[in-house]
Structure 1
């Protein structure tokens, strides 16, 4: 224990000695560091001060030297003084005992590593098990080095050698402080005030002539300086922003200047010359208000349908009128932003400051203007300005164009088509019209109809159909009309534009009569010329046929002659077509202002039917075939076609003759009715004028006289009409002398009118009135006389025609029976039998008889309107088959001859049926006329007339009933034994079979027509109608489908009835008259009556729909439909104009698209 205590004591003493060594170690460092610090700091101070004193460093270098000196002093003071001092007091990091032991061991030879070993063993003794041995070793070593003074290893006296490093700078400082104190003072002052410029004293001084050292940002400033002293430098420099600029010499000696351009920021500057510099000067830049960015938010009016947009840094703009513009300016160094709209002197408006350095102002624009933006600050009012231009596009007036087309088939319809456009959109469109009656001088208000257009469309294509018939125009009325379109200008209010004002003058009665008369003459001239051309054509055709018979084949000259002949035929057909067009046009014109009697209407319809069927498809095909044969140079085939042409031309000639005569007859009847009507009206006017003359005062006699003169002129015109009427009657070989029978009355009326005028000139009202009334009364009597004359002529003509029809009907029936009997004989006769020649002679006689009947029928057809249009074609077929039958019989070709004979019977039966129908119609018309009390037959109706010109179900039903009665009577007579058989019974049965056959063929033809009409209606149903909605079209299509189904059903029923009738024909020929036949015939009649009822209902529906159809728009002409298609494609073209084009270029594009669309 004592050994351990001893060890601790020795070891503690050892550590104390080491601590003393460490303190002396740092004391030595402190002394040496102090000397170094004093020497370095003083030397640096002296060097810097002397350098500054003589070199006049710039402020930057002085700053570097000053702060560099401070940093040097601080750094070496820390290293040499402060750090050793802290370590002396054991503050901070110091050397360890081991490091100190190493230093001591290195200094004392007898210590060496012992001291370090002691410390190491002491550390090991704390962890090893044999610590006693270690501690003994430690004590031994401590005892060996205990006498050694560790502090002796540090010799403080050695620091004397470092005193010189501090003494030399110190002595130098003291010497300078004594000998040149200004050097240290001035240089130190300049170093301390391192921000201030110091110039070396020069033999001259700088005098700044520029008084104001403030400059506006971005502007220029000229710095002027003058040197004063004993020496004037040749050149001088301006130092600014660490960059020298050579000054320009001024006009006076010693003056210099320099222009600083576009000064941006404040700066310090000085002048320098010959190594001498001036004091520092401060150039102050006044910040100029400047615009960094600005936006213009364009809020367009809603109606222009344009998306709002923002213009960035763009002051010029093109905007629609009414646009709200909000400017947002972002500026710096700016206190106020103001705008002046208009020229100089206009008021200014300050923008409202917003967040940060932004300003806002809003204005609504209506017209072109310039505007100036001013930027201001407190020191710089209106320091900057910018002027821009605003182009305001006013809402232009809409534009509208129109094209008018008239319906060539109906003068009452007008078709309008056009375009309307506006720069921003259309609002509405109207069609306006005004009727100005002929007898009224003042104009009334316009009526308007809204034309549906899509609001907002910029370009609209429109079509409109106008039916003048709905206006109930009177003769002489003037109609003015136009289209008007309005735009959607929401700023200034809607504006409108109109098309050119169009007009229509309704013709007067006199003009209509003159036009109708002229058209009638044109029709007659065309028909007459066509007849002459046809006759010439026939003669030329005959000559060519005779020449071709002598040739084996055709040559080029023959071909050319035939081609010329075909060209003439084509011209003739065109002339007939022209006559047809003139006729239809005349009819339509008259229907606008005239009310025809029912009888006149039916006759016009009959003439129309004749016109339509005059040029048949067979004729056109025949011409095509002949042209084809001509190309093939086929003589034989061409000769055959020429023969066919001959038959066809004969038929056409008959039709033209009939058409001409019937047209003259109709013209005469219509002229007669119109003359009577005008005479009655004039009589009423004359009577009324007489009453007014009696009542009016003397002052009004002059007006009455003028009215009387007009009435006299009208009667003079009527006398001319009567002369023309008499001329027509003479052409038609009428027995009545209209002019002669009414001449006396005409003279009396003229005398009364003349005397009334004379009495009015003498102011004799009563006498003048009596004369006027007498003239009116005589006119009335004359009209009644002409009315009676017309009825008498009609009745006489009807009786004569009825007589002719009965005779012809008997001849046709007899011919038919004779032909049938001849057919039966031919079946039983061998062609080698001598009797065959007699039968051939009988056939020849039948042909001659048929030609006589043919001539009579042709003559009758020229007078009787009731005869159907197919009479000429049926007569042609009759003649052709008669000739063919005779030729075939002569050639012993019995079978083809029998076929021809059968066709002959068919034609005879058809003609007989047609005559029977015509006779029934004439009988009913005569009965109705006789029931009328002296009036003209204006409301006569044609019974039993079907739409197709063939007998109707009503007429055939009556004939079937008569036939049934005859069959029942014949069957009853046979049953009672009155007619047991024989030739007479066979003849009666054959006649009944022929009648049944004729009825059957009529039913079959009617069924075929129903099926054909249904097909045509189906085709027409595909056509659209302008102005109809989709629902209307759907209903119409359903309606047509329902009609078609009903027609098909009726056609099937008629064909079933025809089959039943054919059974009856067979049984009648075989003389099987049984009760079953009679029953079947009754069922046939019942079914026919049902079909008749269905047909009557259908006709009622057609009539009702025809009345409804007056409110429908007819199919537009092809040009109108082409316009619609074209405009639809142009609408797509207009849409290709890019919406974001500038207005100027957009207008150019739209004008271009419009220009190429026409």
Structure 2
């Protein structure tokens, strides 16, 4: 290019401006211009290679290669020195220390190591005579360390830094010369800084989700529980896993230093949390956490009522109370049963089931009342079912588990069995009363012996004390026997009522008998015995005399109560036996009519069926024979009370049964059925049925005659006692008025005393008359006896006042005696009116029947309410709920009316309280139904209502052995005598009270009684306005 340039300039081709311009900058323009001016031809002829001198270039190349060879020869023996020298040459302006004569080769040099790991260090020193070196360690400015090292056989210095926890800087030193500085950078493994476990139990448990305590990873939970593991690490994570003992793994979601994963608890085991950071470091020795599956317990069920083998009543219904328990809830409850004994069928091997409704809003422990209706099973007498209860829990994970109760047997007893049991229990109760009566007589004799000995010696010694203690123990044992007899009587009444063996009249008498037996548990006698023992211990003769006097009275009343109870029991047994025979006649007639229908429908060629009918006819013959025997026993019992019993009517019934020869006819029908002579057998069966119907009517007449005879006699005696007491009250009042006006020196005190003695004698006669009457009827009550006893006590005190010429005191006591006589007459009149109206005969049975009907209605309402609650609230169900509200309100109104009737009839306070509580519960249920709000509490209320109705119906005839009387120790009472009585003002005031009584609703009978009493007072000559 330069040659071209020089040539162009010499030939003056280029201008002077172009020559002075940079060749490089305008080279492209020059080429273009040269082409334009035809210079390409001249350049093409030139040889450019000839113009280049290659010698300087080749000399430079040889010199460069020689330098490289020399440098290589110098570098190989001491490369580091060469490098250092080269560094100093390049940086010629800096000052450098004299180079070290030693060369350090350090392993591992600068490196990242895991925290806690051991780091081996190896140092090789190149230099003259190196035997020892010093290793300098620096963790912090304050934490520095020197380690002297000796070389091994291979001239290497070795050491190990154990469990390195902090980043450490280290250098090696030999004779003041140090190696370069190296650093061991400590890095952490990923680890779990925080762990939280959220447990979500299975939905069927209705338990809330909850966290375990922080950093607690051991899991104890039900199978099916969802466990969520929340982890926070010390480093950013790349991966996290939940690893189980069976090698399965569950990946966790990663977000920075956080990881979350979940799994479902299925069985016992263990797990760890495995972490990996972004440097692919993993956590070492992760904590092993246990997984323990808590058991979902099996449900349990118990048949708490009846809780024993039982007999079915006539209604073929078995009331059950089922107690079920589980930790979380239930899905199904049922009764399993099978026939295990029958006269006419083979026992069953497989169970059948009846479902028991479960209330919604269940708890872990429930009591489920259920009335099991077995009438659809067509059971016959002597059939026996074995039954049990089964309950399933609500375990939705492992499947519902089954709990089973103990098995019981329910039988359909035959009438023979029922009446045989009744007879046996009657005998046991009668025997207990007989033995108790004898024991009471012995106790009476023992007390008399102690008293006579005291009267002789007037001393109290330890022997008498022991006798009194022994008498107390014997009385306590006697009391327990009577209490057991009362409980047995209660069970007997329940059995007879359940099987409808008693007429309402007889049932009421049994109830009164039970009440009387409860009263035999005399607290008064117990208190007196305690006082007597206390007097013996204190050796107090005065206290002993007083206690013996009170004991004589209480002990005599106790013996009379036993005697009365026994006498009444014998009479009631006769009534029960009449009821029994009437019932047997009715059942025999029904069975014979049913057998006649079966004979009409049987196939004459069916020999097996004919033999079965023949066997049934034979069973009826056996039952009739038993009836004939019972008739003879009944007649024997009636003959003990010939004046009271309808012996004539019973004799006619027995003659009628004997004349018709029903037993022989039954035997004839049995043979005809076996022989296939159906037509003849059916004709005689009709005759037998008619004969049994006649016998049933005859026994109803016997029963009616007995009731009429008893009522007639008792009414007459009650009227006589009432009139006698009113007459004695008039005499006592006249005597009181006369005594009040006596002067202290009056000679009339003696005459008044004689008249008072006659009144006392006549009152004693009335008392004796009532005691005899009390052994025939319950119309004579203990309250009457207390009033008469009070009247006698006050009359005796009046006698003392007359003897001491204290007219005021005597008159006040006579007034009190008159009031007691009047109250006794009033009580007798009430009993009389009750008998005449028949309120006591059927009231109790009617109350029982109505309660059972209400319980049945309530059961239907409960079932419909539960069904609506489970199905939801459609328009149809809303309308149905309104009808249920009306039905519940109707049941509530009926119950309130029933409670009012029970109150008027004088039923027990406990029963009235129960009925009132039930009515209040019903009001709340009605409100819920009207508001269309069926909550779990609504269903619970309905269950309580049904349970209480059933309890109330049972308590009507159980009587609960209530303790109505409370014994109180006697005390001396001193008070001022009242002022003189103004009869005219008193009668006017009492007439106003009668008008007030009418307004307030007192019974007409009571008003009539008060009116007759005031009329009797007027007959004494007192003018009444």
TM-score by length of 2: 0.59
8 Å CA contact retained: 2:333, 2:358: yes
Distance 1:706 1:500 in 2: 37
Counterpart contact for 1:295–1:310, Cα < 8 Å: no
CA distance in 2, matches of 1:924, 1:782: 29
**Residue 652 in structure 1 maps to residue 561 in structure 2:** no
Instruction: Provide the secondary structure at the position in 2 that maps to 1:394.
Output: strand
Which residue of the other structure, out of 588, 592, 606, is the alignment partner of 2:512?
A: 606
Match of 2:670 among 757, 760, 774: 757
- Among 477, 485, 488, the residue aligned to 1:579: 485
- Which residues of 2 match residues 1036-1115 of structure 1 at below 5 A? 1066-1067=983-984, 1084-1092=993-1001
Structure 1 counterpart of 2:229: 325
Deviation at 1:660, TM superposition (A): 1.8
Shift of 1:676: 0.3
Hey, what does 1:547 align to over in structure 2? 453
Structure showing the higher helix proportion among its residues:
1
Contact 1:801 1:864 in 2 (8 A): yes
Answering whether residue 707 of structure 2 is matched by residue 794 of structure 1, we say yes
Whole-angstrom CA distance in 2 between matches of 1:1027 and 1:1082: 40
Cα distance, 1:689 vs. partner? 0.6
* Structure 2 contact 133–149 (Cα < 8 Å) conserved: yes
What corresponds to 2:657 in structure 1? 745
Distance in 2 (alpha carbons) for counterparts of 1:924 and 1:215: 114
CA distance in 1, matches of 2:812, 2:163: 125
Deviations 1:148-201 (A, max 9, x none): xxxxxxxxxxxxxxxxxxxxxxxxxxxxxxxxxxxxxxxx9x989x8x9769xx
Q: What is the CA deviation profile of residues 435-473 of structure 1, one whole-angstrom value per residue up to 9, with x for unaligned ones?
A: 88999966333213337567xxxxx6x574848699999
Deviation at 1:849, TM superposition (A): 4.4
Higher mean C-alpha displacement, 678-687 vs 237-246 = 237-246
What SS does structure 2 have at the residue aligned with 1:392?
Answer: strand
Q: Deviations over 1:1035-1076 (max 9, x none)?
A: x9xxxxxxxxxxxxxxxxxxxxxxxxx99981399xx9xxxx
- CA drift at 1:726: 3.2
In 2, are the aligned partners of 1:317 and 1:391 still within 8 Å (CA)?
A: yes
In the other structure, the counterpart of 1:1005 is none
- How many Å apart are 1:407 and its aligned residue? 11
Is there any run of 5+ residues in structure 1 with no aligned partner, and where? Answer: 1-52, 76-187, 200-205, 455-459, 929-936, 944-1009, 1037-1061, 1097-1158
Distance in 2, matches of 1:673 and 1:1024, equals: 36
The aligned counterpart of 2:938 is: none
Would the alpha carbon gap of residues 434 and 831 (structure 1) be closer, same or farther in structure 2, given more than 3 Å must change? farther
Residues 481 and 503, structure 1, Cα contact 8 Å, conserved in 2: no
The residue number in structure 1 matching 2:638 is 729
How far has the Cα of 1:801 moved from its partner? 4.0
Q: Over aligned residues, Cα RMSD in angstroms?
A: 6.4
Partner of 1:563: 469
**SS state of the match for residue 707, structure 1?**
helix
- The 3 A distance-change label for structure 1 pair 557 and 803 is same
Residue 305 (str. 1) matches residue 305 (str. 2): no
In 1: Cα distance, 2:172 partner to 2:743 partner = 156
Question: Which residue in 1 is equivalent to 2:850?
Answer: none
Tell me which residue corresponds to 1:863.
776
Map 1:228-243 to 2 at 5 A.
none
1:502-513 to structure 2, matched below 5 A, reads 505=410, 508=413, 513=419
Once the two structures are TM-superposed, the CA of residue 574 in structure 1 deviates from its matched residue by 3.8
Larger-gyration structure (1/2): 1
**Does the CA contact (< 8 Å) of 2:392 and 2:400 recur in 1?**
no
Q: Please state whether the residue corresponding to 1:324 is helix, strand or coil.
A: strand
Offset of 1:541 from its aligned partner?
2.5
2:627 to 705, 715, 718: 718
The corresponding residue for 2:853 is none
1:317 & 1:741 partners in 2: Cα distance? 84
Q: Which structure carries more relative contact order (alpha carbon 8 Å, separation 6+)?
A: 2
In the aligned structure 1, how far is the partner of 2:217 from the partner of 2:833? Answer: 95
> Residues of 2 paired with 1:842 and 1:315: CA distance?
102
Distance 2:998 2:194 in 1: 90
CA distance in 2, matches of 1:824, 1:359: 109
- Partners of 1:477 and 1:888 lie apart in 2 by 75
Change (3 A) 1:805 1:284: closer
SS in 1 for 2:296: coil
**1:1064–1:466 distance in 2 versus 1, CA, 3 Å:** farther
CA distance in 2, matches of 1:224, 1:363: 51
Offset at residue 696 of structure 1 (A): 1.0
Superimposed CA distance per residue, residues 409-457 of structure 1 (whole angstroms, 9 cap, x where no aligned partner)? xx99988889754xxxx35688766788999966333213337567xxx
Give CA-to-partner distance per residue, 1:1105-1154, whole Å, 9 cap, x none: xxxxxxxxxxxxxxxxxxxxxxxxxxxxxxxxxxxxxxxxxxxxxxxxxx
Q: 1:112-151 counterparts in 2 under 5 A? A: none
Q: Structure 1 residue 686: deviation in Å? A: 0.9
Distance change (3 Å), C-alpha of 1:585 and 1:631: farther
Taking structure 1 as reference, are residues 561 and 343 closer, same or farther at Cα in structure 2, changes over 3 Å only? closer
Equivalent position SS for 1:291: coil
Name 2:535's counterpart in structure 1: 629
- Kindly tell me the number of residue pairs found equivalent between the two proteins: 772
Report the counterpart of residue 1049 of structure 1 in structure 2. none
- Give the TM-score normalised by the residue count of structure 1: 0.53
2:291 to 369, 392, 400: 392
Q: Structure 1 residues 839, 310: CA separation in 2 closer, same or farther (over 3 Å shift)?
A: closer
**Match of 1:533?**
439
Gap change, CA 1:890 and 1:766, over 3 Å in 2: farther
Report the Cα distance in structure 2 between the residues aligned to 1:338 and 1:911, rounded to whole angstroms: 95
Whether the aligned pair in 2 keeps the contact of 1:337 and 1:359 (CA below 8 Å) is: no
The structure-2 alpha-carbon separation of the partners of 1:533 and 1:902, relative to structure 1 and needing over 3 Å to count, comes to farther
Q: Deviations over 1:282-307 (max 9, x none)?
A: 99999999535566553432665354
Classify 1:1030/1:793 alpha carbon distance in 2 versus 1 (closer, same or farther; 3 Å).
Answer: closer
Equivalent position of 1:708 in the other structure: 617
Could you say if the C-alpha distance between residues 761 and 262 of structure 1 is closer, same or farther in structure 2, counting changes exceeding 3 Å? same
Report the alpha carbon displacement of residue 669 of structure 1 after superposing the two structures with TM. Answer: 0.9
Superposition pairs for residues 695-1094 of structure 1, below 5 Å? Answer: 695-697=601-603, 698-699=605-606, 700-733=609-642, 734=645, 736=647, 738=650, 741-742=653-654, 745=657, 748-809=661-722, 811-819=724-732, 843-877=756-790, 880=793, 898=811, 901-902=814-815, 904-924=817-837, 1066-1067=983-984, 1084-1092=993-1001
Deviates further, 770-779 or 610-619: 610-619
**SS of alignment partner, residue 358 of structure 2:** strand
Q: Is the 8 A contact 2:334 2:389 kept in 1?
A: yes
**Contact 1:519 1:586 survives alignment (8 Å):** yes
> What SS class does the counterpart of residue 771 from structure 1 fall into?
helix
After superposition, the C-alpha distances for 1:953-990 in whole angstroms (9 at most, x for unaligned) are: xxxxxxxxxxxxxxxxxxxxxxxxxxxxxxxxxxxxxx
Alpha carbons of structure 1 residues 375 and 286: separation in structure 2 relative to 1, 3 Å: farther
Provide the C-alpha distance between the structure 2 equivalents of 1:1026 and 1:417, rounded to a whole number of angstroms.
25
| Distance across 2 between alignment mates of 1:662 and 1:479 | 40
* Post-superposition offset of 1:672: 0.9
Q: 1:446 aligns with which of 342, 348, 355?
A: 355
Structure 1 residue 883 displacement after superposition: 5.5
Is the CA contact (8 Å cut-off) linking 1:749 and 1:775 kept in structure 2?
yes
Q: Hey, what's the Cα distance between the residues in 1 that align with 2:131 and 2:485?
A: 117
Instruction: Provide Cα deviations, 1:98-147, integer angstroms capped at 9, x if missing partner.
Output: xxxxxxxxxxxxxxxxxxxxxxxxxxxxxxxxxxxxxxxxxxxxxxxxxx
Query: How far apart, CA to CA, are the structure 1 residues paired with 2:718 and 2:241?
Result: 109
SS class of match (1:870): helix
Alpha-carbon deviation of 1:684? Answer: 1.1
Q: What SS does the aligned partner of 1:449 have?
A: coil
